[in-house]
Amino acid sequence: MEAAPASGQDRARGSDEDDRLLARIAAGEQAALVRFMERHGRGLRHFAARYLDSREDAEDVAQDVFVAVWKHAGRFDPNRARATTWLYRIAANRCKDLRRWRRLRAFIGLEDLHELLPADEIDAEAATGARQELARVRAGLRQLPERQRMALLLRAVADLDVPTIAEVMGATVGSVEQLLVRARRALRDRAADADDNKKAMERTSL
Amino acid sequence: MNRDAFERLQRRFGSNITAWPAPYRQEANVFLKGERETGDVNDDEDLDRIVREAAATPGDERALTREVLKRIKPKRSPIFAVGGIAGAWRVPAVATSFSVVLVAAAVLGYMLAGSGAEALDDALLSFAAGEPIPQFLADISGNMRGAL
């Protein structure tokens, strides 16, 4: 077995399986939906959780997306798009709707936007010091503008290429490239700042 | 990912990891590549890999499957299929036909009741005016007998 990154041919194989599964889902086969969820549920949840900054909302989005897949699998046309593109487009739209809804609720005072992902996750990580880098990246993701965050998560978590991300986000390839460059730069700057702070603290403690 | 998790996924998705779904494939690649290096993140791929790791959130996938299957389960149709009839009202021709039938039935019923309807109207008016109940009941029964 080889650890080579997925080639276009390998991705096509995975995509073929998704296409077949969607055809079976469209025919009303629940086992195919279960298999489809096994393949994509985890990635979708991670994407939604980090984009929305809320585990519960991510669960809801994942459920909504797969229910939509069940209802509308017949509309999927493998000649027009890859299954993952279609799936993540549904997820991205659902996430955007949810964010808008949350903003409205925050505006009328029904929700506090800062109470979403549990703070203990960050504190625990910071306290143990074992996974500080990941904690820093999470915090950095949280502070990225929405579109940059979505582009980066679609690239890193969903493993979509730039043209597919552009299709999912309804943007041009150039603008997605820009979003990715900015997002990565912001995360690197943040990491560099954290390193500088750490060194400064070490110097002062000596 | 550790060896156990890797082997579990292998049983689940097959031995060709390049055909695994994205998050599993990426984690397996990292696992097979060995311990990741620490240090500055200069390469886009390295940064994406860290973002992927950072994005991981615990969750119960079986619960997701369970909830989705619960939501897509076909609902049993009620004994009295009111929903089906209500849906028919959305079709203009059906709605018009039903309305015509209902109006015709009401007009016909009023015509058949004839003078009985007037007597009943009188009884109800007297009840509304505050007549005692026994008197009112007597009026109704008298009127009904008269109507029949």
Residue B139 near residue B126, CB atoms below 8 Å: yes
Q: What are the structural domain ranges in chain B?
A: 3-39
Instruction: For residue B59, list chain A residues with Cβ-Cβ distance below 8 A.
Output: 42, 45, 49, 55, 58-59
What is the DSSP-derived secondary structure letter of residue A73? G
Rounded-to-integer distance, Cα B35 and Cα A162, Å: 28
The verdict on a CB contact (< 8 Å) between B68 and A67 is: yes
Q: Looking at mean pLDDT, say which of B84-88, B131-135, B143-147 comes out highest.
A: B131-135
Residue B106: band (very low, low, confident or very high) from pLDDT cuts 50, 70, 90: confident
Residue A61 near residue A48, CB atoms below 8 Å: yes
Tell how far CA A73 is from the center of its chain: 22
Give the three-class secondary structure for B31.
helix
Q: Looking at mean pLDDT, say which of A187-196, B35-44, B87-96 comes out highest.
A: A187-196
pLDDT on residue A205: 63
The verdict on a CB contact (< 8 Å) between A50 and B53 is: no
Residue B127: band (very low, low, confident or very high) from pLDDT cuts 50, 70, 90: confident
pLDDT (tens digit per residue) in A42-71: 999 999 999 998 888 999 999 999 999 999
Phi, psi of A85 (to 5 degrees): -60, -50
Closest-CA residue to A151 (of A54, A7, A51): A51
φ/ψ bin of B56: left (φ > 0), alpha (ψ from -120 to 50), beta (otherwise) = beta
Our CA-based measurement puts residue A79 at a distance from the nearest CA of chain B, in whole angstroms, of 20
The verdict on a CB contact (< 8 Å) between B33 and A58 is: no
Instruction: For residue B68, list chain A residues with Cβ-Cβ distance below 8 A.
Output: 33, 37, 63, 66-67, 70
What is the DSSP-derived secondary structure letter of residue A206? -
pLDDT (tens digit per residue) in A144-178: 999 999 999 999 999 899 999 999 999 999 999 99
pTM of the model: 0.64
What number is the average pLDDT over the span B10-14? Answer: 78
Residue A125: band (very low, low, confident or very high) from pLDDT cuts 50, 70, 90: very low
Of B114 and B67, the one with more pLDDT: B67
The verdict on a CB contact (< 8 Å) between A63 and B67 is: yes
pLDDT on residue A50: 92
What number is the average pLDDT over the span A12-36? Answer: 88
Helix orientation angle between A173-205 and A146-156, rounded to the nearest 10 degrees: 90
The verdict on a CB contact (< 8 Å) between A63 and B33 is: no
Rounded-to-integer distance, Cα A149 and Cα B77, Å: 44
Rounded-to-integer distance, Cα A154 and Cα A150, Å: 6
CB burial class (10 A; 0-12, 13-18, 19+) of residue A172? exposed
Phi, psi of A32 (to 5 degrees): -65, -40
pLDDT (tens digit per residue) in B48-75: 888 988 888 888 888 999 999 999 887 6
Residue B14: band (very low, low, confident or very high) from pLDDT cuts 50, 70, 90: confident
Rounded-to-integer distance, Cα B147 and Cα B121, Å: 12
pLDDT on residue A120: 43
User: Is the pLDDT score of A203 beyond 80?
Assistant: no
Residue A202: band (very low, low, confident or very high) from pLDDT cuts 50, 70, 90: low
Residue A159 near residue A193, CB atoms below 8 Å: no
Rounded-to-integer distance, Cα B143 and Cα A135, Å: 86
Residue A95: band (very low, low, confident or very high) from pLDDT cuts 50, 70, 90: very high
Please tell me which residue of chain B has the smallest CA distance to A141.
B51
Which of B18, B19, B47 comes nearest A4 by C-beta? B18
The verdict on a CB contact (< 8 Å) between A45 and B72 is: no
- Token readout for B80 is 């009295």
CA dist B107 → A28, B102, B113, B135 (Å): 49, 9, 10, 30
Domains in chain A: ranges and CATH: 11-131 (1.10.1740.10), 144-206 (1.10.10.10)
Count, residues in chain A: 206
Instruction: For residue B23, list chain A residues with Cβ-Cβ distance below 8 A.
Output: 42-43, 46, 157, 159
What number is the average pLDDT over the span A68-77? Answer: 93
